[in-house]
A and B are shown apart, each in its own frame.
Chain A
């Protein structure tokens, strides 16, 4: 680095740059929060869905699955499982979820296994409501196809 570029110039870029971008980031966050009601599907965030989120978290489902592409990469994406396995219909999906959760683990030798979580019927309903709500978040058309 040339000598004309002094340490205090470098420091000013650091301080000025950080403050500027922190403020800009906060402003953009504020704007995003204004836009979210139209995008985050809060209309479907029912009490059942909220309870379902807790079931999701307290069984660490994210430790194997992705949800909207985030999580672990060991098991399928569940942000669109409502479309994939429920044909975008609440009752079909609920029925699928009950059958699925109760059938685990499959016990097929060598195949990746999903544990039996011993959920109550109510908890499975809540989980279904949560995944249905999640499936309605505006994701800019992600994932590219139904396989997630």
Chain B
């Protein structure tokens, strides 16, 4: 660490990892409810577990992005953070608000939570991923503004690099697109149209800027490759991301009301969306091969390369699999969607966050960390494969046959139970990998104590 204020990133990463553990636990609860339908019912109905699972995901990724930004921006700008105090204050505000929201989901029936928080005044709740009470959403906006102010001042007064400008652009974009979560018209088709401006334009738009800049930073640090080269790559990657990803939004507009031309537009542009992910993978490997130094943190480089590959597989390959309108007609809203969502989120956004650890880890700790990496990553590959298997069967039984012949939804689910069991077992392996990853944090301390 070169700048003292980079230390504010630490609580962000620690809290993010705690939330991640919670996310996986609730994933396992849901995975079991998929096969033992009444598990934990009525204490934790499936929808509650799902809200907790996906909202924890979003919130811990936001914590991870914030931590990464607090770590990266001072170094890139070559000066201390504008206000470390503000960063710590915002951490506590966000952590408390986030925890209260999750507790609200678990302890109060959702309708009661809506009433308590005055949802009727400005109804924004009850839409997938945007289930947070309206006041929580307002809190998120306030935290985001403070965060952007703090970083913005740092960058303005310091050195401006391609990396920190792109990162700031991505973070501002993240905040701006989130504002669409406050637009919830009574007209369902319009509601859905603009809902995707948050969800799609996040994961296949501005978040790619964030991820690209973090990747570029890590590669400069770990490989020592010339900044000019890295920055050129970064520009090409984010150019492709936005050129394909913006109109790529159309792959969500096939069946929810918008005109038919979106079938062509969405298919063509989203079919090109794997390109930026492919470039990211090539970028990571290319830089690693051209490395000019052996950085002591080999685990970081492993995460960087793994992230490139998994993001390409999950977003690029699994995204492409179901993105063309004639295919999506059959796969829309099946387990195929879930399989893609898992690998893409893990590869593109969870892995970068998990990699966030500065240089000085002992060798032993890194070995344990790499075990965690392989367990989680391989488990995620198999979770994806099993869900894909479930999805193909679901399409075959429920979607392809004509009305009257096709199996109903619930009957189909019974038929594919085996795949859900396999997914659940693999989920346990994922959890073990996560625990191993956590253990690697404490290995360091032991050796310190021993050597002292």
Please list the residues of chain A having a beta carbon within 8 angstroms of any beta carbon in chain B: 1, 5-7, 10-11, 13-14, 17-18, 21-22, 24-25, 28-29, 31-32, 35-36, 39-42, 45, 49-50, 53-54, 56-64, 66-77, 105, 107-113, 115-117, 130, 133-134, 137-140, 142-148
Contacts and interface: CB of A to CB of B under 8 A. Distances in A.
A59 B246 contact: no
Interface of B: 30, 33-34, 36-38, 41-42, 45-48, 50-51, 110-111, 114-115, 119-120, 123, 125-128, 131, 162, 184, 186-190, 192-193, 228, 231-233, 235-236, 238-239, 242-243, 246-247, 249, 253-260, 262-263, 265, 329-330, 332-335, 337-338, 398-404, 406-410, 412-413
Contacts of B46: 63-64, 72, 74-75, 112
A80 B128 CA distance: 19
For B34, B37, B190, B262, the residue with the greatest tally of chain A CB atoms inside 10 Å of its CB is B37
Contact of B398 (A31, A57, A112, A147): A147
B41 A6 contact: no
B186 to A, nearest CB: 4
B119 A58 contact: yes
Given A105-B41, A111-B38, 6 more contacts: A1-B236, A63-B131, A68-B255, A110-B38, A133-B188, A147-B409
B255 to A, nearest CB: 4
Q: When A and B form their complex, which 8 residue pairs have the shortest distance between CB atoms, in order from nearest?
A: A63-B47, A57-B126, A112-B37, A69-B333, A10-B235, A142-B255, A40-B189, A14-B239
A60 B38 contact: no
B335 A18 contact: no
B186 A6 contact: no
B398 to A, nearest CB: 5
B242 A17 contact: yes
A139 B257 contact: yes
Contacts of A41: 189
Contacts of B257: 36, 39-40, 68, 137-139
B329 A77 contact: no
7 contacts: A53-B186, A58-B126, A60-B51, A69-B332, A70-B128, A73-B337, A140-B255
Nearest to B259: A35
A39 B125 contact: no
A73 B403 contact: no
Contacts of A142: 254-255, 329, 332
A145 B406 contact: yes
